[in-house]
Amino acid sequence: MSKRDYYEVLGVARNASDDDLKKAYRRCAMKHHPDRNPGDSAAEAAFKECKEAYEILADANKRRAYDQHGHAAFEHGNGGGAGGPGFSDMGDIFGDIFGNIFGGGGGGARGPRRGADIGYVMELSLEEAVGGVEKQIEIPTLDACETCNGSGSADGKVETCGTCKGHGQVRIQRGIFSMQQSCPHCNGSGKTIANPCADCHGQGRVERTKTLQVKIPAGVDNGDRIRLTGEGEAGPTGSPPGDLYVEVRVREHEIFQRDGDDLHCDVPIRISQAALGDIIRVPTLGGEVELRIPFETQSGKLFRLRDKGVKSVRSRKTGDLYCRVVVETPVNLTTEQRELLEKFEATFVGEGARKHSPRSSTFLDGVKGFWDRMTS
C-alpha cells in the first residue's frame, strides 16, 4: 500500500512554515491519540502516520530530500524514525501539548535534556564558497562550568531526586489522559544538588563567548548548513551539549552570478568584434581563458565553457560557465571615428540594407503584420 503524501497527512501546503507544521501536528495528534480512541486501530494508525510525517518535514535536511525524491528518499532505512526531530513516543507529544494547560514542565523528554542547538550565519565571498575556506568565529553560548566540571555541585555530590526516584519524569493522570512530564523538582535530570556551585548557581553552565575554527567545504551555496556536533549550548547539570549549525550566505559577485553549479557572466564586445569575429579573453574562477567570437555574432549570444563553473559539494561534478556577449555602442568618439561610422552607415541604403540586419528585418516584418491586422 502506497504512503500518503506527508503534506496531505498534516493538511498543510508545501511551503508551510515550521510553526504551521507544529500546529498541524498537534491537531492531528490530539484527534487520533490512542488514549482518546481506545481500541480504535484506525486512529492508532493515523496517529503514527502524522507522527512520521512531522518527523520528516520538521527536519530541514529530510524535508529537502522528501521534496526532491518523495518517499523514495527513505526507502532504504533513511526514514524519520525515532531519531527525528519529533517526539519519541505518545507521552512526549502529550507532554508538549498539555504541559502548559495542566501546569507541567516541558515536553516529556526522558532524563536530562541536551543543550540547545545554536544557529550562526556566515557570510562568504563567491571565491570562498567555491574554493572552501577555514574561518574563526566567536559564539556567545552557555558553556560547561569549569569550576564544577558541569555538575552544578560545589562538592561534587549529587543525590537522586526523591520525587521522580531518579527517572527524571513524573506521570500525571488527567481524566482519560495519562501524561509523562519532566520532574518539576529536578527539571528532568533525576538528580538534586544540596550544595550548588557558586559560579553557575547549580546550573552546571555559564555564559561564555566560545571561539571556534570552522572548515567550510568547497562548493557550498546559499542556504547550505554545516553541523558541528556538540558545539551548541551545554546541557544543564552535565547533560549532553547541543549542536552548532553554520548557515552559509554568499555575497553578490561583481562579475559572476551563480545558478546551482553553473556560473553566468556578461562579456562586453565592440561592434567590430561582433561583426568581424575575434578571440577575446574572459575571466573564470581559475583564471582567464580564450573565447572565440565568430563573425556576425549578435548581442545576447550565449557561449558555454564546460567545467568552468563550480564543483558540487555533493556530487563533485563541475558545472559550466555561460558567457553572454553584449555588443556595446561606442562612446566618446573622435572626429575620425565619427566620420568613418558615417561613411559605414551610408552603405546601408534601400531594401538591400535589410539583409545586413536580421533581427531588425524580423522586427520590421512583425510591425508591418501587426498594423495590417489592426487596419484590416
Q: Which residue has the cell 522586427?
A: 363
Per-residue pLDDT band at 94 (split at 50, 70, 90): very low
Looking at residue 105, its pLDDT comes to 39
Residues forming a β-bridge with 178: 173
Instruction: Report residue 361's pLDDT band, with 50, 70 and 90 as the boundaries.
Output: low
The yes/no answer on whether domain 1-86 falls in CATH 1.10.357.10 is no
Angstrom distance (rounded) from CA 102 to CA 91? 14
CA distances from 331 to 187, 227, 270, 335, 344 (A): 75, 52, 11, 12, 17
* Cβ pair 56, 64 in contact under 8 A: no
- Output the nine-digit C-alpha cell for 331: 562612446
How does residue 352 score in pLDDT terms, banded at 50, 70 and 90? low
What number of residues does the chain have?
Answer: 376
Q: Are strands 289-293 and 278-282 parallel, antiparallel or unpaired?
A: antiparallel
Vertex 51 angle, CA 50 and 55, to 5°: 115
pLDDT band at 362 (very low <50, low <70, confident <90, very high): low
* Residue 109 pLDDT: 40
What pLDDT is stored for residue 185 in this prediction?
77
The cell for 152 is 552544578
Mean predicted confidence (pLDDT) in 175-179: 67
Q: How confident is the model at residue 100 (pLDDT cuts 50, 70, 90)?
A: very low
For the beta carbon of residue 56, count every other beta carbon within 10 angstroms. Answer: 22
- Report the C-alpha gap between 250 and 253 in whole angstroms: 9
**Quick one: which of 133, 145, 144 has its CA closest to 246?**
133
pLDDT band at 274 (very low <50, low <70, confident <90, very high): very high
pLDDT digits (tens, 9 = 90+) for 191-210: 888 888 998 888 888 999 99
**pLDDT grade for 91, boundaries at 50, 70 and 90:** very low
The CB-side HSE value for 101 (13 A sphere, CA atoms) comes to: 9
Residues 306-345 pLDDT 10s: 999 999 988 889 999 999 999 999 999 999 999 999 999 8
Of 209, 206, 232, 208, the closest CA to residue 152 belongs to 206
DSSP string, 323-349: EEEEEPPP-S--HHHHHHHHHHHHT--
Q: Give residue limits of the domains in the chain.
A: 1-86, 254-329, 341-376
Which stretches of the chain are assigned E, i.e. beta strand?
118-124, 133-144, 159-160, 169-174, 177-182, 191-192, 205-216, 225-228, 244-250, 257-259, 262-269, 278-282, 289-293, 302-305, 321-327
The pTM assigned to this predicted structure is 0.58
- In sign, the C-alpha dihedral spanning 263, 268, 273, 274 is positive
What does pLDDT average to over the chain?
82
CATH class of 254-329: mainly beta
Band of residue 280 on the pLDDT scale cut at 50, 70, 90: very high
Q: Which residue has the cell 557558586?
A: 198
Quote the Cα angle for 301-305-310, to 5°: 120
